[in-house]
Amino acid sequence: MTSPSPHSNSPSPPRFPVVVVGAGPAGLTVGNILRAAGVDCLVLETESREFIERRPRAGVIEEWAVRGLERRGLAGNLLERAERHSECEFRFDGHGYRFAYTELTGRHHWVYPQPLLVTDLVREYADVRGGEIRFGVRDVRLHDLDSDRPAVSYTDPDSGERRLVHCDFVAGCDGARGASRAALPDRARISRHDYGIGWLALLAEAPPSADRVLFGMHPRGFAGHMPRSAEMTRYYLQCPPGDDPDDWSDDRVWDELQQRLRAADRPPLTRGRLLEKRVLDMHNYVVEPMVFGRLFLAGDAAHLVAPIAAKGMNLALNDAFLLGDGLVAYLTKGDPTGLDGYSAACLRRVWDYQEFSEWLSGIYHGTSSGDPHRAGTTLARLRRVFTSPVASAAFAEQYLGTATAY
Ligand SMILES: Cc1cc2nc3c(=O)[nH]c(=O)nc-3n(C[C@H](O)[C@H](O)[C@H](O)COP(=O)(O)OP(=O)(O)OC[C@H]3O[C@@H](n4cnc5c(N)ncnc54)[C@H](O)[C@@H]3O)c2cc1C
């Protein structure tokens, strides 16, 4: 819950138009948009710069998001270095079935690891646009969010002293377990969906085994192959929720991946050292609305979508574009339209992506459900994507997030 701001020892605590809590893709994009318009802001981040520049997570960015970054001068390295993908592949019944989405839509998926994007965004914000940022802060708290003088306090990592910062707006971009979610008032409506399954998320120091994303639907469970770079590949293995990653030796992982992604007409997987092994219990949540007084939530702080459809970072960027633009319009021209419509505009795409993730989860996990009826309908759904032009077009639109309106 939010609390009244504590008294500060300093005669006049610093004041920024916007305090951004969290330096992930959402917070750094908001910060960059503000700085480009000459609006001062302060970004607060609990981790170190080195840590956030290395934290492995997402890799797939939809084309509309790339263009949104490009329009804001934030895609220089991405456009130079990212790989453009034009198809994915489903593997089931021992065969591979390519789905060429670019042929259908003219749009791509871009593969650019999240740590590279975060590195670009921090550099642009702090080193090029001169934005203020504090790393390693502790015990961040939000105050007076229902007033027009909200504040944020935190413990300075060097001195150990509490600092208080006044502002006009707080951008809550601190992910699923941050101070913003902890500050939500009782009137926040939080809906949640648990998939009841786990995914073992793996990062392999191994070149991709195909030049496209692979989805393996196998009676033993789902397996995924996501190229990240010429040397790195992310893999996923469906497992029981709460499974212990230590029970998954490297040999067990590779044998299981090989079985679940096997296709008669495709080469075997290229093995390598496993750098990350962790079990994700798959769930989604949505916080509604995304605005509480002067607190504007963005990204995972407002909604989580399990990595099933690779949508989370894309939604975080969509929020950040709308929030950054809305704050700039209000703070430089007094135009409240963007901020007034912010929550509703974000939530339309959020719910669409939530629904698609649940639909896709049905396909990924149906054949291993142990229920022959569900396995049968799953295969029927899959076949429809490959045989019906209407179903193919609908799948491509949702997979790439290209609907003309949300
Ligand atoms: C294994 C995995 C694979 C994924 N793959 C994809 C994919 O391919 N495509 C996709 O679109 N999405 C993917 N996602 C989801 C994506 O990583 C997230 O949705 C994205 O990171 C959300 O960005 P964000 O800025 O909202 O939050 P975050 O990236 O979580 O950033 C929040 C920041 O706030 C900081 N913070 C936390 N608490 C505080 C606090 N109290 N005060 C200050 N700072 C704080 C954190 O350290 C962090 O730096 C994946 C996620 C995982 C786990």
Fold of 85-109+195-283+369-400: D-Amino Acid Oxidase; Chain A, domain 2 (3.30.9)
Q: Which residue in 316, 317, 340, 320 sits closest to 330, CA to CA?
A: 340
**pLDDT band at 12, cuts 50/70/90?**
confident
Give dist(CA 334, CA 31) in Å, integer.
19
Q: Which pLDDT does position 2 carry in this prediction?
A: 58
pLDDT value at 180 more than 90: yes
Domain ranges of the chain: 15-79+113-191+284-354, 85-109+195-283+369-400
Name residues whose C-beta falls within 8 Å of residue 162's C-beta, 6 or more positions apart in sequence.
6, 153, 154, 155, 156
Asked if residue 248 has pLDDT above 90, the reply is yes
Tokens (6 digits) for 32: 């960059």
* Percent share of the chain, pLDDT over 70: 97
Q: Is 57 in the pocket of ligand 1 (CB under 6 A)?
A: yes
Amino acid at 288: E
- How many Å apart are CA 223 and CA 217, to the nearest integer? 7
What is residue 13's predicted lDDT score, i.e. its pLDDT? 78
3-state secondary structure of 261: coil
The reply to whether ligand 1 has any atom less than 6 angstroms from the CB of 179 is yes
| For residue 305, pLDDT beyond 90 | yes
Asked whether 283 and 193 are in contact (CB, 8 A), the reply is yes
Measured in Å, residue 249 CA sits from the centre of ligand 1 at 27
For the stretch 337-348, pLDDT in tens is 999 999 999 999
The domain defined by 15-79+113-191+284-354 carries CATH number 3.60.20.10: no
Closest atom, ligand 1, to C-alpha of 27:
25
Whole-number Å distance, alpha carbon 93 to ligand 1 midpoint, is 35
Nearest ligand 1 atom to the CA of 25 is 25
pLDDT at residue 7 is higher than 70: no
pLDDT per position as a tens digit, 189-204:
999 999 999 999 999 9
CA of 24 to the centre of ligand 1 (A): 6
